[in-house]
Structure 1
Amino acid sequence: MTTVAYQGEPASNSSTVARTLYPAGSELPFTSFEQALDAVTLGAADVAVIPVDNSAAGRVADVHHLLPESGLFIVAEYFLPIRFDLMAVSGASLDRLECVRSHVHALGQCRKVLREGGWRTLVSDDTAGAAREVAELGDPRHAALAPPAAAELFGLRVLRSAVEDDPDNTTRFVVLSRAAVPAPHTGEPTMTSLFFCVRNIPSALYKALGGFASSAVNLTKIESYQVGAGLNASRFYAEIEGHPEEPRVELALQELRFFSTEVRVLGVYPAHGHRRTERSG
């Protein structure tokens, strides 16, 4: 049985992804992303499911900070359509509400309904946790913005369903493992995540990335960050479309290594079908 660590509570979006990818697995919830990753590093869990990007709110977890030093590898990705319901205890009604609780990102993704209601907001650690808090409080003046499954789990009444601002709201999750299990090169769409640090010379980043352009390799993400307070060269987290064994990707990585002091492949994994749907749309 696969033990899956995630940040959040049962009925959260992370829990939904964990159950979808590992229906026979055992869930291990934590209050922070770092704790979920540590559980995998220390062997308490086999994999961790972490949300990294949301189509409306942008970056969710600082994977570019967490992943390179964790010793873990990305083995899969999953795109989850995000739905939020406004839920409260039995007997509550929209005209009696005074306060809405949820995770900070959920509150940011449901601004329209919050503005219409004029309710004050409280930030919770997790969307499903907000639903649990409302159920425990038992006050009809309080409601939660949470995934639909949370209403059933905590016995809450849905006052309004699908209140997210963007009907195409989607969060991308990655699955992290202790073992590097690169996807085989079969010709199927593949993603490669990597970490690199360029040489501290003029135009180093421009030259390091030049191979991707000349080899027609699509760079889907690049994020820079500094380590410590020094003036060391920036480090980068990047994601590309393609497999390292493809000749064009191999050439691009050779050029990247020439202008970098360090390059580490953090994962080679199948591209989720959402990418093909998004591109065709």
Structure 2
Amino acid sequence: MKNMKQKNIDNSARIYYQGNPGSYMNIASLEIEKGLNVEITEIKGKPEFIDVWKSIGKESIGVLAIENSYMGSIHPNLYAFLRYDYKIIGEYYLPINHCLCSKETDIKKIKKAYSQLPALDQCYNYLKEKNIFPVAFSDTALSAKYISETDEKGLGAICSERAAKIYNLNILEKNIQDQQGNNTRFAIIVPKENGIEYNLKSNKVSILFEAKNIPASLYKCLGAFATNNVNLTKIESLPSGSGYFSYYFWLDFKGSLKDENVKKALEELKFFTSSLKVLGEY
């Protein structure tokens, strides 16, 4: 468990997330608030990811999903780090437990289930076995709101338990996702000069780099970490759009920027990259 900061009551901030009350991003934001070193005056949802990025500032924090254990990376948020000069100060892993919810009380009466497309994908086998037709909706929490307001019979929503409670729906079945142990990784993002902190100990670093267009450049980039005994935990290529099959690489690794082996690895890495951006240590 991470060591949490003491609240600084002289400083305050807002948290912005993408979604609506009852969404998984809303739930993650409520949990993340407990570990911040400032008082949170507001937790507010925004319609799109880009709206959250635009809202991050001196007294505002962005909570954004960057990876799901079932669906993979959330690429719009990875690419946004190229555009915005922000840093990651922490991460939070939220277990995703989908519920089938409805105004109905009998699960056999459910003919259609509304939810966000990724949630429907994560419950594909369940819906097929129950002979429930999936209907794509903009948001898991909004699907619950829609079901609570419509007079049409036989409809359900795939959403969080919190969303079901907010919109007064019956939870017909919990944990209906096909893959148990489904988690979403959230990044806590602030401007680089911001003094907001999430935990006391840093044990992970994230970077983005573009390898030079030379033979074996990626091999040499990764070799910088291997020769200095730095453990990589994630690597992903992101097409740069600037040339024929040109890529950025997102890298997570264990350690701190203060560690001598990490310093040496990053110095070696610079020889084989045309650009390098440290996204944060947390």
2:23·2:160 contact (CA, 8 Å) conserved in 1? Answer: yes
Show structure 1 runs of 4+ deviating over 3 A.
180-184, 186-189
- CA–CA distance in structure 2, aligned partners of residues 263 and 67 of structure 1: 12
User: 2:20 matched to which residue of 1?
Assistant: 9
1:64·1:223 contact (CA, 8 Å) conserved in 2? Answer: no
Residue 38 (structure 2) pairs with residue 22 (structure 1): no
- Shift in alpha-carbon separation, 1:166–1:228, aligned structure 2, 3 A: closer
Alpha-carbon offset, residue 183 of structure 1: 10
SS of structure 1 residue aligned to 2:166: helix
1:195·1:266 contact (CA, 8 Å) conserved in 2? Answer: yes
1:33·1:61 contact (CA, 8 Å) conserved in 2? Answer: no
- Shift in alpha-carbon separation, 1:173–1:100, aligned structure 2, 3 A: same
Question: Please, which runs of 5 or more residues in structure 2 have no aligned partner?
Answer: 1-11, 35-39
Counterparts of 1:50-69 in structure 2, within 5 Å, are: 50-69=64-83
Q: Which amino acid is 2:32 matched to?
A: L
- CA–CA distance in structure 2, aligned partners of residues 119 and 78 of structure 1: 32
- CA–CA distance in structure 1, aligned partners of residues 278 and 195 of structure 2: 10
State the identity as a percent: 28
SS of structure 1 residue aligned to 2:276: strand
Alpha-carbon offset, residue 119 of structure 1: 1.5
User: 1:140 matched to which residue of 2?
Assistant: 153
2:202·2:255 contact (CA, 8 Å) conserved in 1? Answer: yes
Q: Which amino acid is 1:114 matched to?
A: L
SS of structure 2 residue aligned to 1:62: helix
- CA–CA distance in structure 2, aligned partners of residues 48 and 28 of structure 1: 10
Counterparts of 1:69-218 in structure 2, within 5 Å, are: 69-89=83-103, 91-180=104-193, 188=201, 190-218=203-231
Alpha-carbon offset, residue 172 of structure 1: 0.8
Alpha-carbon offset, residue 254 of structure 1: 0.8
- Shift in alpha-carbon separation, 1:159–1:125, aligned structure 2, 3 A: same
- Shift in alpha-carbon separation, 1:182–1:253, aligned structure 2, 3 A: farther
- CA–CA distance in structure 2, aligned partners of residues 136 and 39 of structure 1: 31
User: 2:264 matched to which residue of 1?
Assistant: 251
Q: Deviations over 1:251-280 (max 9, x none)?
A: 1111111111211111111xxxxxxxxxxx
Q: Deviations over 1:102-131 (max 9, x none)?
A: 111111111232011111111122111111
Q: Deviations over 1:40-84 (max 9, x none)?
A: 15x6x6111111111122123433211121222111100111111
- CA–CA distance in structure 2, aligned partners of residues 162 and 226 of structure 1: 35
The two structures have a TM-score, normalised by structure 2, of 0.87
Alpha-carbon offset, residue 233 of structure 1: 4.0
- Shift in alpha-carbon separation, 1:264–1:229, aligned structure 2, 3 A: closer
Aligned residue-pair number = 265
More helix by share: 1
Question: Please, which runs of 5 or more residues in structure 1 have no aligned partner?
Answer: 270-281
User: 1:34 matched to which residue of 2?
Assistant: 50
- Shift in alpha-carbon separation, 1:206–1:181, aligned structure 2, 3 A: farther
Q: Which amino acid is 2:279 matched to?
A: L
SS of structure 2 residue aligned to 1:152: helix
- Shift in alpha-carbon separation, 1:216–1:84, aligned structure 2, 3 A: same
- CA–CA distance in structure 2, aligned partners of residues 138 and 154 of structure 1: 14
Q: Which moved more, 1:8-17 or 1:130-139?
A: 130-139
- CA–CA distance in structure 2, aligned partners of residues 140 and 3 of structure 1: 39
